[in-house]
Amino acid sequence: MSKVEAILKQLADVAANPKKAMDDYKAETGKGAIGIMPLYAPEELVHATGYLPMGIWGGQKQIAKARTYLPAFACSIMQQIMELQCEGAYDDLAAVLISVPCDTLKCLSQKWKGTSPTIVFTHPQNRPLESANKFLVEEYKIIKTKLEKIVGATITNAAIEESIKVYNENRAVMREFVKVAADYPQVIDPVARHAVFKSRMFMEKSKHTALVRELIDEIKASPVQPWDGKKVILTGILAEPNELLDIFKEFGLAIVADDLAQESRQIRVDVIDGEEGPLYRMAKQWQQFYGCSVATDTKKIRGKMLMDMVSQTGADAVIVCMMKFCDPEEWDYPVYYRQFEEKGIKNLMIEIDQEATAFEQVRTRVQSFVENM
Amino acid sequence: MYTMGIDVGSASSKVVILEDGQHIVAAEVVQVGTGSSGPQRALELAYEKSGLKRADITKLVATGYGRFAFEDADKQISEISCHAKGIFHLVPTARTIIDIGGQDAKAIRLDNRGGVKQFFMNDKCAAGTGRFLDVMARVLETTLDDMAECDAKAEQAASISSTCTVFAESEVISQLSKGVDKNSIIKGVHQSVASKACGLAYRGGLEEDIVMTGGVAKNAGVVRAVERELKKKVIVAPNPQTTGALGAALFAYEEAKKMKKEGLE
Ligand code: SF4
């Protein structure tokens, strides 16, 4: 097995088995893990406690128990998370951090069925205002106090600064990885690309950074090969499961960039350096964040952002991975769809249902799309 | 030169044999689809009708839901591309296609050279498809063939939801038990199918000519309901069940020509 293959396998194993990743971390550090619900949270605060921030992004379960608490039209990922909660899948977590930028999350945050304590906080939506930053600092202070109580230790500013550094480094290396994946689609196929992203949800970030750094250096040692397939950009909440990504692979699609909440939106904006305290700078990161359906944007720049990504990467098309019943994403769609049509940007929408077991419809859509590109 | 297209659908199997990419020498339909004896029987019918055998067919393209399960094909092409190809061949002025098949519905936008500009398909749901009509025909104790006629006799359409086949079925039953006229219920059922399919067509934007195809296009009641919903005239593709297979046969012809050209060079 080559070094590249070995690193990819290591990351894929973590992505496929988060429970083991968490248990290993606990055994190694003697510390626990804290769940991070989608979509965005000040993970640096959790990291600063020495606990492992564990992303919670659903699974592939058949939904039964969740029906007691959620209507059939709640988004697919929250159905999964509710089902897993009911099964006690998250009960090993010392706490769960929940942001509530959409209606579904608001409801879910009020009826957590696991046994771990929850810390719920709000992202301000009138983001350009300075008062939004101040509000978010107060929210972060509350999170910090609650975390301190749960882990039984004080979180110092120095520790937060160190965590910010670790996170900024990880975001930077992942942005570099996105470019490498675009240049070397023969090496990084859609499944491998996703595993590199997903594993960062379940690993201590400096360890993840080190592995991805090594991966990039190894890959870059070989020359770039021409790609005779098509190049696409993905947008949406997430693109799972692997069966879906296998279809992209089957029809020769390279993912040259993404705007997925689970992937590149997590690494889009760093926490800036500056004189202000760490919580304020972390709050500012939310103000500077852009291009996401749950971060209010009165100018609706997402379409333009995606079109810029198309021209920068030379992508042939954008694939919209529409999370089933995600209302924020559904609201954004007609706006950027119209912009795509006006500018002649090829686009395809596929529905993401984490419960899905059959993929024939998606295969037909993707095949038709590729045939007509 | 003969080429063949086979459309292995969920509810039926269709075969078209083309001579020189122009003349249809056989177009056969068997009303069972993938996983059944349908594809084989449709093939046999087409051979019988044309007097040809497999060795006479230069290229064979499979399309439809069961395209990958049909092993004898030279190539598999998606039904979206094949319907677009077949329709444009038959109706070169077509710009919007509404295709309602056994288990899915699609709206396809074409450019003026027949290329697929955009398409939308229904999501894993039988509402608005041929299957929906099958279920309703059974509950209403009628046949698919009689439904269009009953629809024509109805004065008004009963309200039937378009979101879910199971709910719609219970709505139909409750309308029946309330004594609502059966013809009106049938008209309502057609309206429900039409509104679902038109929802897809609206997504891609409407441009005329609008052509309906797929097995359900044979039902004049649904066609009228689509026209009422879109407030536009709709052309029904000739032999609508076989347009996908025709498109596949046309693709097969292009492949064969390409091969011949490469062979000559
Ligand atoms: S943003 Fe969308 S996918 Fe995420 S929780 Fe809300 S509705 Fe669900």
DSSP-based three-state secondary structure for A236: strand
Residue B124: per-residue pLDDT: 66
pLDDT of residue A154: 97
- Supply the angle between the helices A157-183 and A190-199 in degrees, to the nearest 10: 180
How far, rounded to the nearest angstrom, does the alpha carbon of residue A48 sit from its chain's CA centroid? 20
Of A303-307, B65-69, B136-140, the poorest mean pLDDT is in B136-140
Lowest mean pLDDT: which of A177-186, B137-146, B251-260?
B137-146
* Residue ranges lining ligand 1, Cβ < 6 Å: A 38-39, 75, 77-78, 102, 104-105, 237, 294, 323, 326-329
- In which band, very low, low, confident or very high, does the pLDDT at B247 lie, cut at 50, 70 and 90? very high
Q: Is the pLDDT of residue A39 over 70?
A: yes
CB A372 to CB B77 under 8 A? no
Question: Distance (Å, rounded) from C-alpha B241 to C-alpha B260?
Answer: 30
Task: Give B146→chain A minimum CA distance, Å.
Answer: 31
Dump pLDDT digits (tens) for A179-192.
Answer: 999 999 999 999 99
Q: At A225, is the secondary structure helix, strand, or coil?
A: coil
Average pLDDT over residues B25-44: 87
In chain B, residues with a C-beta closer than 8 Å to the C-beta of A365 are: 80, 119, 121
∠ Cα B257 B259 B263 (to 5°): 115
CB atoms within 10 A of CB B5: 33
The tokens 């292009």 sit on which residue? B254
What does the alpha-carbon distance between residue A90 and residue A56 come to, in Å, rounded to a whole number?
A: 9
CB atoms within 10 A of CB A12: 18
Nearest-angstrom CA–CA distance, B38 and B30: 6
CB contact under 8 A, A361 and B80: no
How many contacts does A have with B, using Cβ atoms within 8 A?
40
Strand-pair category, A118-121 with B2-8: unpaired
Q: Which residues from B are below 8 Å from A244, CB to CB?
A: none
Cα A103 to middle of ligand 1, angstroms = 8
* Residue B156 C-alpha, separation from nearest chain A C-alpha, in angstroms: 32
Other Cβ atoms closer than 10 A to A165: 14
Tell me if chain A has a CB within 8 Å of the CB of B248: no
Cβ burial A191-210 (10 Å sphere, 16+ → b, else e): bbbbbbbbbbbbbbbbebbe
**Would the pLDDT of B59 be above 50?**
yes
A62-84 pLDDT tens trace: 888 998 898 888 999 999 999 99
Give how far Cα A341 sits from Cα of A214, A297, A307, B200, Å.
41, 21, 11, 16
**Is the Cβ pair A364, B78 closer than 8 Å?**
yes
Which tens digits make up the pLDDT trace of B74-96?
999 999 999 999 999 999 999 99
Mean pLDDT of chain A: 95
Beta bridge partners of residue A254, listed in sequence order: A231
The Cα B96–Cα B106 span in angstroms is 10
Domains of chain B in start order, with CATH, are 1-91+239-265 (3.30.420.40), 94-236 (3.30.420.40)
Cα end-to-end span (Å), chain B? 19
* Triad B96, B98, B103: Cα angle to 5°: 150
Residue A285 has pLDDT above 60, yes or no: yes
Nearest to A368 among B119, B123, B205 (CB): B119
The pLDDT score that the predictor gives to residue B35 is 79
Q: Output DSSP code: residue A63.
A: P
DSSP β-ladder status, B2-8 and B96-100: unpaired
Instruction: Considering chain A, tell me which residue range(s) the CATH 3.40.50.11900 domain(s) occupy.
Output: 229-373
What is the distance between the alpha carbons of residues B44 and A163, in angstroms, rounded to a whole number?
Answer: 70
B62, two tokens: 């499979």
Q: How far apart are the C-alpha atoms of A60 and A237, rounded to whole Å?
A: 16
What does the DSSP 8-state code read for residue A130? Answer: H
CA distance A177 to A156: 31
Do B28 and B45 touch, CB atoms closer than 8 A? Answer: yes
Domain A31-151: assigned CATH number: 3.40.50.11890
Cβ atoms of residues B244 and B82 within 8 Å: yes
Q: Is B80 within 8 Å of A372 when comparing Cβ atoms?
A: yes
Angle, helices B182-204 vs B144-153, to 10°: value is: 100
Percentage with pLDDT > 70 across chain A: 100
| Residue range A214-233: mean pLDDT, rounded | 97
ipTM, two decimals: 0.75
For residue A103, name the pLDDT band (cuts at 50, 70, 90). Answer: very high
Which of A30-34, A166-170, A294-298, B153-157 is predicted with the least confidence, judged by mean pLDDT? Answer: B153-157
**Confidence at A333, pLDDT banded by 50, 70, 90:** very high
Q: How far is A360 from chain B (nearest CA, A)?
A: 8
Q: Was domain A1-19+156-226 assigned CATH 1.20.1270.370? A: yes
Using the Cα atoms of residue A202, residue A206, residue A210 and residue A216 in order, give the sign of their dihedral. Answer: positive
* pLDDT of B163: 66
For chain B, say whether A270 makes contact (Cβ under 8 Å).
Answer: no
The DSSP bridge partners found for residue A352 are: A323
How far from each other are the two terminal CA atoms of chain A, in whole angstroms? 36
Q: Is residue B113 exposed (0-12), middle (13-18) or buried (19+ Cβ within 10 Å)?
A: exposed
Q: Radius of gyration (Cα) for chain A, nearest Å?
A: 20
Mean pLDDT of B111-137: 83
CATH class of A229-373: alpha beta
Is the pLDDT at B265 greater than 50? The verdict is no
CA nearest to B215, candidates B23, B18, B29: B29
Prior bond to A39 cis, omega within 30? Answer: yes
| DSSP per position, chain B | -EEEEEEE-SS-EEEEEEETTTEEEEEEEES--TTSSHHHHHHHHHHHHHT--GGGEEEEEEESTTTTT-TT-SEE--HHHHHHHHHHHH-TT--EEEEE-SS-EEEEEE-TTS-EEEEEE--S--TTSHHHHHHHHHHTT--HHHHHHHHHH-SSPPP--SS-HHHHHHHHHHHHHTT--HHHHHHHHHHHHHHHHHHHHHHH---SSEEEESGGGG-HHHHHHHHHHHTS-EEEPSSGGGHHHHHHHHHHHHHHHHHHHHHH-
What is the average per-residue pLDDT within A1-21? 95
* Cα–Cα dist B79/A360, whole Å: 12
Compute, in angstroms, the gap from residue A328 CA to the centroid of ligand 1.
7
- Give the burial string for A15-41 (b: 16+ CB within 10 Å, else e): beebeebbeebeeeeeebbbbbbbbbb
Q: Is the pLDDT of residue A284 over 60?
A: yes
* CA B72 vs CA A285, B13, B60, B61, B177: distances in Å: 57, 15, 8, 9, 50
Using the predicted structure, report yes or no on whether residue B264 has a pLDDT greater than 70. no
Beta bridge partners of A230: A253
Q: How do beta strands A317-323 and A253-260 pair?
A: unpaired
**Range picked from A102-106, A191-195, A338-342 for highest mean pLDDT:** A191-195
In chain A, residues under CATH classification 1.20.1270.370 are: 1-19+156-226
pLDDT tier for residue B259 given thresholds of 50, 70 and 90: confident
Residue range B184-241, pLDDT digits in tens: 888 888 888 888 888 888 887 889 999 999 888 888 889 999 999 999 999 999 988 8
Looking at A108-122, A276-290, B39-53, which range is the least confident one?
Answer: B39-53
Tell me the torsion sign for CA atoms B88, B91, B95, B97. Answer: negative
Q: Name the nearest CA neighbour of A53 among A113, A88, A12, A97.
A: A97
| Contact call for residues B186 and B154 (beta carbons, < 8 A) | yes
Whether B29 and B6 have beta carbons less than 8 Å apart is answered as no
- Closest A-chain CA to B122: A361
pLDDT at B185: 85
HEC letters along A256-294: EEEEECCCHHHHCCCCCCCCCCHHHHHHHHHHHCCCCCC
Mean pLDDT of B111-138: 83
Averaged pLDDT, B18-25? 92
